[in-house]
Structure 1
Amino acid sequence: MREVIGVDLGGTGIKAGRIKNEKIDAHVVCPTPKTDTAEEVIDNIIDVIKQLIQPTTEAIGIGVPSVVDVENGIVYDVANIPSWKEVHLKDFLEAVFHIPVHINNDANCFAIGEKIYGVGRNQQNFVALTLGTGLGAGVIQDGRLLKDANCGSGEFCIVPYLDGDYEQYCSGMFFQKLGKDGVELYNLATAGETSSLKRFDDFGLHIAQLVKLVVATIDPQMIVFGGSVSKAFPLFEKSMKKGIQDFAYPNSIKKLQIKVSEIENQAVYGAAALCYQ
Structure 2
Amino acid sequence: MSGAPLKRRGAAHALQALRAIVLRETLKFVQQTGRLVSALVRPLLWLAVFAAGFRNVFGVAIVAPYDTYVPYEVYIAPGLVGMVLLFNGMQSSLAMVYDREMGLMRLLLTAPLPRPWLLFSKLCATALLSVLQALVFVAVALLIGTDLPLHPLAAVHALLALAAGALMLGALGLLLSVHIRQLENFAGTMNFVIFPMYFLSSALYPLWKLQESGAEWVYQLARLNPFTHAVEWIRFALYGKDPGLAPWVVLGCGTVFFFLACWGYDPQRGFGGLTRRGDGA
Higher-Rg structure is: 2
Instruction: Please give the TM-score of this superposition, normalised by the length of structure 1.
Output: 0.27
Instruction: Please give the TM-score of this superposition, normalised by the length of structure 2.
Output: 0.26
